[in-house]
Amino acid sequence: MWIADNWNDYEVLDASGGEKLERWGDYILIRPDPQVIWSTPRSHPGWKNRNGHYHRSAKGGGEWEFFRLPDEWSISYAFRGTSRRENPSGVRRSRDSLTFRLKPFSFKHTGLFPEQAVNWEWFSSLIAGARPNSDTPVRILNLFAYTGGATLAAAAAGAAVTHVDASKGMVSWAKENAQASGLGDAPIRWLVDDCTKFVEREIRRGNRYDGIIMDPPSYGRGPKGEIWKMEDNIWPFLQLAAQLLSKDALFFLINSYTTGLQPAVLSYMMNETLARHLGGQVEAAEIGLPVSQSGLVLPCGAAGRWQR
């Protein structure tokens, strides 16, 4: 399992009875989590002193209950290392930390998935260590890019990033995160578009990328009503997106929060689509977050990585 254990501003304090107790900066939230099928004693004081609690409804969805929680606040993530402005290859990154705006919104979310930091560390090191003697930046494509965590991590490492998401609101939020992180002038293309149609157009244009990141939803709709269903669309979409890799591509990353799309499935697809034709190696694993109260790890999805 790959564990995002480098956070200072975020922490899973405890997990019990279908819910997780989290610290987001100065505020404590309780949110539902289907992975938490155990019921252990809720002895942590945060269970009673929470600032927000998302109550799931038996009819679907749910609603927030707030206790002295602001409408919006921010947390930061500092990259690993004693000298955070250098990666293991000694190449300086453009930023050593990222700042994210948070707010509770529909269906329990806050605008950030903290477990993804373990992937940010992985690919930002590859980006920062590439082409040390070249003025040409590494080109990264981030598909289903949400509020821009991966986009900002790649830009902070020195990449030129194309950020694509079907939601205009999410792209606007990502831009605000870039400004908050001091990356407002970074070479990022912000696009509101259907990811499949965008990839098809890029293939026709002959554009290529040195790294591709995708975080597809289990189910979603494009800006013109296009339907995305993970189980039906991920295999042909992976085959399509692989055509956009440059001849010297560094990596390909797929995230999955879809039940049934386990690490072994991601590994099989990526080996068939990428490693079989391009060489390199594929790894896939669960990703998780440490739980302070128990000392154990909360699973938070899966990721597949191809590296040259």
Q: At residue 93, does pLDDT exceed 50? A: no
Q: At residue 81, does pLDDT exceed 80? A: no
Q: At residue 83, does pLDDT exceed 60? A: no
- What's the pLDDT band for 94 if we cut at 50, 70, 90? low
Q: Which residues contact 86 (CB under 8 A, 6 or more apart)?
A: 92, 93
Lowest mean pLDDT among 11-20, 62-71, 123-132: 123-132
Calculate what percentage of the chain has a pLDDT beyond 70: 94
Give tens-digit pLDDT for 171-224: 999 999 999 999 999 999 999 999 999 999 999 999 999 999 999 988 777 667
pLDDT for position 57: 86
pLDDT for position 192: 96
pLDDT for position 35: 92
Overall average pLDDT of the 69-77 stretch: 97
pLDDT for position 228: 72
Give tens-digit pLDDT for 269-299: 999 999 999 999 999 999 999 999 999 999 9
Overall average pLDDT of the 48-70 stretch: 92
Q: Give me the half-sphere count of Cα atoms (radius 13 Å) on the Cβ side of residue 209.
A: 25
- What's the pLDDT band for 92 if we cut at 50, 70, 90? very low
Q: Compare 228 and 101 and report the one with higher pLDDT.
A: 101
Overall average pLDDT of the 22-48 stretch: 97
Q: At residue 153, does pLDDT exceed 60? A: yes
CA dist 63 and 107 (Å) reads 7
**What is the residue-averaged pLDDT of the chain?**
92
Read off the tokens for 220: 């979603």
pLDDT for position 305: 98
Give tens-digit pLDDT for 116-150: 999 999 999 999 989 766 778 999 999 999 999 99
- Report pTM: 0.91
Q: Which domains does the chain have, with CATH numbers?
A: 71-307 (3.40.50.150)
In order of 92, 139, 183, 212, 261, the CA distances from 155 in angstroms are 12, 10, 8, 13, 29
Overall average pLDDT of the 51-58 stretch: 92
pLDDT for position 4: 98
Overall average pLDDT of the 67-93 stretch: 70
